[in-house]
Amino acid sequence: MSFLRLTHIGICVSDWERSLRFYRDVLGFKYISELQVAGEPSNTLLQLDNVELRAIYLERDGTRIELLHYPSPGHRGEGTPRPMNQLGLTHLSLRVDNLAATLAELQKADVQVLERTRIDIPAFEAAAIFITDPDGTLIELVQSPGDPALPPGA
């Protein structure tokens, strides 16, 4: 078996323009490309009927996300954050250099900040909090000393 590389992480969105502005203009993802598909073979691959899909590809720090907007058959869900112990993808995480300054900027941009999730660890000059994208996808912001390219605890 030979897997060549991770290609992208898909995120279903209710409003592609709003989500594009959030991920590009607020979080700093770079627009790469987009495509629109309808019907077969997408119906079969996605296991949906009457598919109309707009997929927008964005990239940041070598990670590509795919914003998936379905004019048909539409999206499902309420747009609220998923519990962290629900099976499947739970969140995205971004490292920040100054959490307080980042939060001030995000609040100016009307980003939902989940204040109740904030933790501060002064002994390590570390802090973390969750925000959400416009559809409730959790995004963790982490301030931590050391090399941001290394995984936590390394």
Examine the domain organization and report whether 24 and 68 are in the same domain: yes
Per-residue confidence band for 146, with pLDDT thresholds at 50, 70 and 90: confident
* Phi, psi torsion values for 42, nearest 5 degrees: -65, -35
User: Which domain CATH number covers 49?
Assistant: 3.10.180.10
Sign of the dihedral defined by the CA atoms of residues 88, 91, 36, 16, in that order: positive
Reduced DSSP (H G I as helix, E B as strand, rest coil) percent helix, strand, coil of the chain, to 5? 20, 40, 45
pLDDT at 104 over 90: yes
Q: Going by DSSP bridges, is the β-strand pair 9-12/63-72 parallel, antiparallel, or unpaired?
A: parallel
Measured torsion, CA atoms of residues 43, 38, 51, 49, in degrees rounded to the nearest 10: -50
- Write out the two tokens for 8: 């992208």
Examine the domain organization and report whether 52 and 87 are in the same domain: no
Examine the domain organization and report whether 54 and 126 are in the same domain: no
Q: What is the mean pLDDT of residues 26-42?
A: 97
Examine the domain organization and report whether 81 and 67 are in the same domain: no
The single-letter code of the amino acid at 111 is V
* Phi, psi torsion values for 116, nearest 5 degrees: -65, -15
Domain annotation covers residue 1: no
Domain of 46, in residue numbers:
9-72
| Number of domains the chain contains | 2
pLDDT at 125 over 80: yes
| Residue in the block written with tokens 């501060």 | 120
Per-residue confidence band for 153, with pLDDT thresholds at 50, 70 and 90: low
pTM of the model: 0.91
- The pLDDT value recorded for residue 105 is 95
**Residue with the larger pLDDT of the pair 1 and 7:** 7
Examine the domain organization and report whether 18 and 46 are in the same domain: yes
- The pLDDT value recorded for residue 152 is 63
- Other CB atoms closer than 10 Å to residue 40's CB: what's the count? 9
Q: What is the mean pLDDT of residues 109-117?
A: 96
Examine the domain organization and report whether 99 and 144 are in the same domain: yes
Examine the domain organization and report whether 83 and 66 are in the same domain: no
